[in-house]
């Protein structure tokens, strides 16, 4: 009996393949669920003894089918295999149908799941993976929290090479395999360049088995000559074994192979060739990111089942030509192929990147401006598919009753303004999810109060990188290419500890996250990455380090660094950096203007000031300096100035002067000064926006007053690593408290939290208690 294997994302898809390959009379041997879909073993009925007996014609209208397999005439002696096959097919069809019903029911009940399904499908992810993922989606999450949950799940399950050093070991033998035209030769040259940099040209050997494609070995020979690396051409297993045995054990061997269609029988022959090399060869499958998902699935399936040594992983090529990256990541997850590198261009060796799981997932979820989802279901398409069903009245009522049983005491305890309704609480919890600062604070709060194992080294660094990625994703979704980084120092009263935090804001003042801090204790200096030193860096060195770390992590999003203070030496040094910065300075700072040496105080008396008429549109905040936005006006002036020294070129900066004026009587409340520097080629920033950013910097000082209170409500730390994570959590919770007070979008949350506190309104001193109440409420509702 010749048994064939078929795989599909559902039973229906797998049975369709059976019918196409073996005809409607195919016999099912087994039917079982495997990772990512359904596997069916089937055979042609002609290969079963006794199955070829002549059948009587089937009367019209009496045909019986089980999952698309035609029933044999009852007069024919039924074969045991045929009976078991029919039963297996029927069971598979029933399982598939039940699975479809459960999935359809969940989609109809959860608009968030529907939106995520549509979004991820448009990014190239398969329906099989999305089903497995979204079935575990917590039902209480809002849109933002659900997207973050999906991002975390994808990052957790995406296999990647943990570190480059784990790959590049002396004696490595690496072969690239895959279909034609996916970029194997160019990618191999990029890998060879990395190997030469690590080991030297005498430790690297290039091999090619591609003697079929015209000019293939000549192309590799050119690369080898440029890198002064030996290149060998082999045609069969004997030549390959001979070359491999002649290479020193410490030399790295990189093998380029002929591109073979996944449907070509030579795939198995090539696998056998590499398996007989006489030395262990790691095979990496090159996946073309611009290919369709079904094509990548077929390629991965063919090369994982070619009979050779198991694939060690994959390399994703032609990323620069792809509109979406979901398909190759989906393939890597389902076939468990660790991603080693990503090739994003033709340049050798530059266009080859080693990316973390988080970076890959963020790239896949990022919507490109040129992307037009012509081949994915739209909202209208999904609505048309789901409109035939919905949540029944009984189900909706049962859900409401369950929620009402969980929350009655908490909601009825509010004394100011009467009891709180369940719907109001649900809206407030959803509003928290829509504010990144609050959503991240909730994640910290939940993790810190959940039982878990001891915090390991690097936990704070990993969490901080996630905060940066989330902030970059937030502004990229809003079609904004810049983030504000406000650097501020904090020293708790009566403590010898001093911390420097880097707060991220959107250009309109929305609080986002705190992805970096530095900490100074009497015994050592450290930062969120776990870097430690016994020597305390100077203020210039500390700020330089913070700017460099954040600029690297935020690429390609631009950062504007905002800080207070400095010195002429520091400002000159920062003017040479490829970074944009805004430094608040004293009015007595010495500078050079066209009329000679002067100070900002003196120069401001000669400048013409301009009003900012659309202040509320530029800063989405409730107050500035404890004064409501509607009660003040901002006037600014800009003037180019210089910093001069006896030996050296002058440094050109812009002086920004900002006056805060009370509207009803025109009194100047405060005058602020700042130096502004933008590196060459940067997108100009409107002076009115810079003036607003100077005011935003003053708000961070108000925020620092909440930090000590927040640290007091966190659980005690039991290790140095746990203390690092708690410090990051305290900073994020502090930012969330400020966002609760300041964001116009959080008015509903403010009102509810004030009622839960039994207060008519929310004050700054009550914001920490209010945030805790809302976090507990949100956790109870989940």
**Dihedral over Cα of 563, 636, 603, 653: its sign:** positive
Both tokens of 249, joined, read 């054990």
> Closest Cα to residue 185, out of 219, 232, 213, 225?
219
Q: How many Cβ atoms sit within 10 Å of the Cβ of residue 309?
A: 15
What is the gyration radius of the CA atoms in the chain, in angstroms? 32
Both tokens of 90, joined, read 């029927």
Determine the Cα–Cα distance for residues 197 and 229; give it in Å rounded to an integer: 12
CA angle at residue 640 from 635 to 643, to 5 degrees?
125
Both tokens of 636, joined, read 């600014």
Lowest mean pLDDT among 50-54, 132-136, 440-444: 50-54
Assess whether pLDDT exceeds 60 at residue 652: yes
How crowded is the C-beta side of 718, counted as CA atoms within 13 Å? 7
Query: Exposed, middle or buried, 769 (CB in 10 Å: 0-12/13-18/19+)?
Result: middle
Pairing state between β 230-233 and 204-208: parallel
How crowded is the C-beta side of 583, counted as CA atoms within 13 Å? 23
pLDDT at 101: 43
| Sheet strands side by side (includes 27-34) | 3-8, 37-43, 27-34
Q: How many Cβ atoms sit within 10 Å of the Cβ of residue 228?
A: 11
Determine the Cα–Cα distance for residues 449 and 775; give it in Å rounded to an integer: 11
State mean pLDDT over 297-326.
87
115 near 106, Cβ under 8 Å? no
| Sheet strands side by side (includes 252-256) | 230-233, 204-208, 252-256, 173-177, 282-288, 313-317, 339-343, 352-353
Both tokens of 538, joined, read 């100077």
Report the top-level CATH class of 459-721: alpha beta
Q: How confident is the model at residue 721 (pLDDT cuts 50, 70, 90)?
A: confident
Domain extent listing, the chain? 3-107, 110-157, 164-365, 459-721
Determine the Cα–Cα distance for residues 423 and 414; give it in Å rounded to an integer: 15
- Average model confidence (pLDDT) for the chain? 79
The predicted-structure confidence for 453-464, as pLDDT tens digits, reads as follows 677 778 888 889
State mean pLDDT over 382-411.
53
pLDDT at 106: 54
256 near 219, Cβ under 8 Å? no
Query: Exposed, middle or buried, 28 (CB in 10 Å: 0-12/13-18/19+)?
Result: buried
> Closest Cα to residue 404, out of 387, 427, 423?
423
Query: Exposed, middle or buried, 528 (CB in 10 Å: 0-12/13-18/19+)?
Result: buried
287 near 180, Cβ under 8 Å? no
424: three-class secondary structure by DSSP: helix
For tokens 């800080």, the residue is: 563
Lowest mean pLDDT among 70-84, 261-275, 530-544, 668-682: 70-84
pLDDT at 601: 93
* List of long-range contacts for 347-355, beta carbons under 8 Å, 24+ apart: 348/186, 348/189, 348/190, 348/193, 348/223, 349/189, 349/190, 349/192, 349/193, 349/194, 351/190, 351/320, 352/187, 352/190, 352/191, 352/194, 354/161, 354/164, 355/160
State mean pLDDT over 525-533.
90
State mean pLDDT over 184-200.
89
φ, ψ for residue 111 (rounded to 5)? -60, -30
- In terms of residues, how long is the chain? 782
Determine the Cα–Cα distance for residues 766 and 750; give it in Å rounded to an integer: 11
Pairing state between β 591-593 and 596-598: antiparallel
Assess whether pLDDT exceeds 90 at residue 539: no
pLDDT at 549: 92
Q: How many Cβ atoms sit within 10 Å of the Cβ of residue 754?
A: 20
Q: How confident is the model at residue 98 (pLDDT cuts 50, 70, 90)?
A: very low
Assess whether pLDDT exceeds 80 at residue 355: yes
pLDDT at 75: 39
> Closest Cα to residue 310, out of 333, 330, 336?
336
Determine the Cα–Cα distance for residues 435 and 474; give it in Å rounded to an integer: 10
Assess whether pLDDT exceeds 50 at residue 139: yes
Assess whether pLDDT exceeds 50 at residue 72: no
Determine the Cα–Cα distance for residues 134 and 220; give it in Å rounded to an integer: 45
Peptide bond into 185 cis (omega under 30): no
Determine the Cα–Cα distance for residues 376 and 716; give it in Å rounded to an integer: 49
728 near 697, Cβ under 8 Å? no
Taking phi over 0 as left and psi of -120 to 50 as alpha, with beta for the rest, 763 belongs to: beta
pLDDT at 747: 84
Assess whether pLDDT exceeds 90 at residue 473: no
Both tokens of 280, joined, read 């262990």
pLDDT at 8: 67
pLDDT at 180: 86
Determine the Cα–Cα distance for residues 64 and 292; give it in Å rounded to an integer: 37
> Closest Cα to residue 274, out of 264, 288, 284, 287?
284
Identify the residue with better confidence: 680 or 768: 768
pLDDT at 560: 94
Share of the chain above pLDDT 70, in %: 79
Torsion angle defined by CA atoms of residues 653, 655, 656 and 661, in that order, rounded to the nearest 10 degrees? 170
Query: Exposed, middle or buried, 47 (CB in 10 Å: 0-12/13-18/19+)?
Result: middle
Strand ranges (DSSP E) for 552-667? 558-564, 580-585, 591-593, 596-598, 610-611, 623-624, 627-628, 632-643, 651-662
Topology (CATH) of 164-365? Rossmann fold (3.40.50)
pLDDT at 69: 35
Could you write out the DSSP letters of every residue in 286-313? EEETTS-HHHHHHHHHHHHTSSSSPP-E
166 near 265, Cβ under 8 Å? no
Q: How confident is the model at residue 754 (pLDDT cuts 50, 70, 90)?
A: confident
CA angle at residue 148 from 142 to 152, to 5 degrees?
140
pLDDT at 94: 44
For tokens 């050109």, the residue is: 652
DSSP letter at 140 equals T
Taking phi over 0 as left and psi of -120 to 50 as alpha, with beta for the rest, 458 belongs to: left
The predicted-structure confidence for 248-266, as pLDDT tens digits, reads as follows 888 899 988 887 887 777 7
DSSP letter at 160 equals B
Pairing state between β 173-177 and 69-70: unpaired
Could you write out the DSSP letters of every residue in 14-83? HHHHHHHHH-TT-EEEEEEEETTEEEEEEE-GGGSTTTTS--PPPPTT---EETTEEPPPTTSPPPHHHH
> Closest Cα to residue 688, out of 726, 763, 633?
633
Could you write out the DSSP letters of every residue in 227-251? HT-EEEE--SHHHHHHHHHHS-TTS
Q: What is the greatest pairwise CA distance in the chain? A: 112
Assess whether pLDDT exceeds 60 at residue 385: no
State mean pLDDT over 723-730.
91
585: which residues sit within 8 A by CB, 6+ positions away? 565, 566, 600, 673, 674, 675
């Amino acid at each position: 009996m010749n048994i064939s294997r078929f795989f599909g994302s559902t039973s229906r898809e797998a049975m369709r393949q059976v019918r196409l390959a073996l005809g409607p009379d195919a016999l099912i041997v087994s039917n079982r669920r495997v990772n990512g879909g359904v596997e069916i073993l089937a055979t042609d009925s002609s290969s079963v003894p006794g199955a070829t007996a002549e059948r009587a014609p089937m009367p019209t209208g009496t045909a019986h089918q089980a999952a698309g397999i035609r029933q044999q005439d009852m007069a024919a002696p039924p074969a045991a295999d045929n009976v078991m096959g029919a039963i297996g097919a029927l069971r598979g069809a029933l399982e598939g149908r039940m699975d479809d019903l459960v999935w359809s029911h969940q989609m109809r009940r959860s608009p968030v799941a529907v939106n995520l399904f549509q979004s991820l499908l448009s990014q190239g992810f398969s329906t099989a993976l999305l089903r497995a993922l979204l079935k575990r989606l917590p039902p209480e999450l809002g849109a933002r929290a659900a997207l973050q949950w999906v991002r975390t799940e994808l990052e957790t399950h995406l296999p990647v090479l943990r570190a480059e050093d784990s790959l590049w070991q002396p004696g490595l033998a690496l072969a690239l395999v895959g279909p034609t035209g996916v970029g194997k030769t160019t990618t191999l040259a990029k890998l060879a360049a990395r190997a030469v940099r690590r080991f030297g040209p005498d430790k690297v050997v290039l091999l090619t088995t591609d003697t079929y494609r015209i000019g293939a070995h000549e192309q590799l020979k050119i690369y080898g000559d440029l890198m002064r690396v030996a290149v060998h051409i082999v045609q069969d297993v004997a030549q390959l074994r001979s070359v491999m045995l002649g290479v020193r054990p410490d030399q790295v061997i990189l093998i380029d192979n002929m591109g073979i269609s996944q449907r070509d029988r030579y795939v198995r022959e090539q696998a056998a060739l590499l398996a007989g090399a006489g030395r262990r060869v790691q095979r990496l499958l090159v996946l073309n990111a611009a290919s369709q998902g079904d094509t990548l699935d077929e390629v991965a399936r063919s090369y994982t089942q070619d009979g050779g040594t198991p694939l060690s992983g994959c390399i994703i090529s032609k990323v620069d030509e792809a509109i979406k990256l979901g398909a190759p990541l989906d393939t890597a997850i389902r076939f468990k192929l660790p991603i080693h590198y990503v090739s994003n261009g033709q340049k050798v060796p530059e266009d080859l990147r080693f990316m973390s799981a988080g970076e890959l997932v963020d790239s896949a979820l990022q919507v490109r401006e040129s992307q037009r989802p012509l081949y994915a279901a739209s909202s209208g398409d999904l609505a048309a598919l789901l409109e035939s069903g919905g949540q029944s009245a009984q189900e909706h009522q049962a859900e409401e009753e369950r929620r009402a049983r969980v929350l009655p005491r908490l909601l009825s305890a509010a004394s100011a303004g009467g009891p709180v309704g369940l719907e109001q609480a649900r809206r407030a919890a959803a509003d928290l999810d829509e504010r990144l600062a609050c959503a991240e604070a909730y994640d910290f709060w939940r993790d810190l109060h959940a039982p878990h194992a001891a915090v390991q080294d690097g936990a704070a660094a990993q969490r901080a990188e996630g905060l940066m990625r989330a902030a970059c994703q937030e502004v990229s979704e809003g079609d904004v290419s810049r983030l504000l980084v406000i650097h501020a120092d904090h020293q708790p009263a009566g403590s010898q500890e001093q911390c420097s935090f880097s707060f991220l804001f959107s250009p309109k003042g929305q609080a986002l996250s705190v992805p970096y801090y530095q900490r100074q204790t009497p015994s050592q200096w450290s930062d969120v990455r776990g870097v430690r030193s016994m020597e305390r860096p100077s203020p210039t060195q500390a700020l330089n380090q913070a700017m460099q770390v954040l600029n690297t992590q935020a690429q390609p999003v631009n950062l504007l660094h905002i800080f207070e203070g400095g010195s002429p030496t520091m400002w000159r040094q920062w003017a040479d950096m490829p970074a944009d910065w805004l430094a608040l300075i004293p009015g007595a700072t010495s500078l050079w203007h066209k009329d000679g040496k002067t100070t900002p105080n003196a120069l401001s008396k000669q400048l013409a000031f301009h009003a900012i008429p659309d202040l509320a549109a530029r800063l989405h905040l409730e107050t500035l300096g404890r004064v409501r936005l509607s009660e003040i006006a901002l006037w600014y002036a800009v003037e180019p100035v210089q910093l001069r020294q006896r030996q050296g070129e002058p440094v050109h900066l812009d002086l920004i002067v900002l006056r805060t004026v009370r509207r009803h009587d025109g009194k100047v409340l405060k005058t602020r000064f700042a130096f502004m520097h933008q590196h060459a080629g940067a997108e100009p920033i409107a002076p009115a926006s810079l003036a607003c950013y100077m005011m935003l910097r003053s708000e961070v000082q108000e925020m620092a007053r909440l930090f000590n209170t927040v640290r007091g409500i966190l659980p005690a730390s039991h290790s140095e690593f746990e203390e690092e994570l708690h410090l990051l959590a305290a900073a994020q919770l502090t930012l969330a408290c400020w966002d609760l007070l300041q964001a116009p979008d959080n008015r509903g949350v403010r009102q509810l939290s004030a009622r839960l506190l039994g207060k008519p309104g929310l004050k700054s001193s009550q914001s920490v208690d209010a945030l805790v109440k809302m976090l507990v409420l949100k956790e109870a509702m989940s």
